Structure 1
């Protein structure tokens, strides 16, 4: 009988992503959601304005995205370091990995905007592109509230697809030539219940629709791991972040 991790690795190498439905059971997801509510109350007020984003600035009910949650709370630091998730990351990458970022992604009910097609590695400013992002659904996700779509095999192309400035807060760049026949033929949607876990390569093209549900949010956690071979161009990354933050402040978004 084939080892489950070996099978997942084969899927990942072929497709650029894997899906586990579910990774965590209902009890664990209830715990994570309780801890998240506590985090919002106790930790968000301490976070930098460059780490917390709202769909509507100043409206707490429209919390859209957070970065570096592991820096502010032991529970979420431990969640990012969970052995099971780290083992998945290292198996998919084929090398040791370090936990880099625990993120929060939301599409508030009725107003959550689409996520433009993009490749995470384009933002990371590193080489080689040895990184994965895990994505954990905190509640039911589907076409109505904006589930993730992957383009199968898109991690295999040389370099990155061309990206240009996006007007979507939290996703500053989007692929400018997306929508080819190959993109359409190889797009796979991933609806799922709370506890559904996805993991994709840093070059895998992915996107999500808007949240058209009048009542349901679309909340998820992101787990970013860099392989030990990935070398970040710190100067280029710092320059990119500085310009992005300046643009966001000028636009009144942070």
Structure 2
């Protein structure tokens, strides 16, 4: 699909699906670098950058933040890359990379991701940003595929509230209207497939009900340069989340 058609689809639906964005060899390299990072670096990360379903069990690692700040390989994936180039096309602006994340849902215990809009967390005006989600292994309804509400980015932010789900502290409080359900679509993916959604697109993901399959993926967040961040409000929110995370891991807190 050429750049203009891709941008039109993104503006119309609030998401695009790009199968095979990375080759099998590239996916293998990403997975090898991730395994190294998890083995050598993750034990030294602060709790607000490494989330576990059960912190006492390292096999339940579910989310990592700011990968690019810990490893040059991931820095090169985030900045000056084809991911960044794609973001400039879809947002029709120069962009700034904000975060690069690792996601997993461990088998049997990986919880559903509540319906939400990333823009609620971003605190931008205008809310012009995007998240990319790249599968690192096959993902389907059993182990937690991504679901979007088509066109929902055109209707602004919806109410959000606390969820109690680690790594996704805010979720929509009014999700599930007939319009939501009628326009929801889901995407089974293969390793290397890329999903991209607007910061106002409503999305969620199933839990992992499988017996032995993980659900590993990378996430990239880019802001359009025309979007301005409420820095004071965002820092206060992040400080609150970090304090809550430390309290959960410190029995004396």
2:175 & 2:183 partners in 1: Cα distance? 12
Out of 8-17 and 78-87, give the one that drifted further.
Answer: 78-87
CA contact (8 A) 1:151 1:206 kept: yes
1:97 & 1:78 partners in 2: Cα distance? 15
Q: Deviations over 1:103-138 (max 9, x none)?
A: 011100111000000000100112111111111100
2:8 & 2:250 partners in 1: Cα distance? 42
Question: If the length of structure 2 is used for normalisation, what is the TM-score?
Answer: 0.96
1:146 aligned to which of 144, 147, 165: 144
Paired residues, number: 251
Would the alpha carbon gap of residues 253 and 118 (structure 1) be closer, same or farther in structure 2, given more than 3 Å must change? farther
CA contact (8 A) 1:57 1:253 kept: no
For 1:24, the equivalent position in structure 2 comes to 22
Q: Which runs of 5+ in 2 are unaligned?
A: none
Would the alpha carbon gap of residues 86 and 35 (structure 1) be closer, same or farther in structure 2, given more than 3 Å must change? same
Question: If the length of structure 1 is used for normalisation, what is the TM-score?
Answer: 0.95
CA contact (8 A) 2:48 2:246 kept: no
Q: Deviations over 1:130-158 (max 9, x none)?
A: 11111110000000000000000000013
Question: Does residue 169 of structure 2 align to residue 172 of structure 1?
Answer: yes
Matches within 5 A, 1:201-220: 201-220=198-217
SS of residue paired to 2:197:
strand
For 1:97, the equivalent position in structure 2 comes to 95
2:3 & 2:107 partners in 1: Cα distance? 36
Alpha-carbon offset, residue 82 of structure 1: 5.0
2:6 aligned to which of 5, 8, 23: 8
Q: Deviations over 1:188-240 (max 9, x none)?
A: 10111100101100000000011001110101000111111111111101111
Indicate the RMSD between aligned Cα atoms, in angstroms. Answer: 1.4
Q: Deviations over 1:149-174 (max 9, x none)?
A: 0000000013x100010011000000
Alpha-carbon offset, residue 253 of structure 1: 8.2
Alpha-carbon offset, residue 249 of structure 1: 3.2
Question: Does residue 215 of structure 2 align to residue 227 of structure 1?
Answer: no
1:105 & 1:82 partners in 2: Cα distance? 23
4+ residue runs of structure 1 moved beyond 6 angstroms?
none
SS of residue paired to 1:122:
helix
For 2:238, the equivalent position in structure 1 comes to 241
1:192 & 1:82 partners in 2: Cα distance? 26
Alpha-carbon offset, residue 9 of structure 1: 0.8
Q: Which runs of 5+ in 1 are unaligned?
A: none
Alpha-carbon offset, residue 45 of structure 1: 2.3
SS of residue paired to 1:193:
coil
1:162 & 1:49 partners in 2: Cα distance? 28
CA contact (8 A) 2:138 2:190 kept: yes
For 1:51, the equivalent position in structure 2 comes to 49
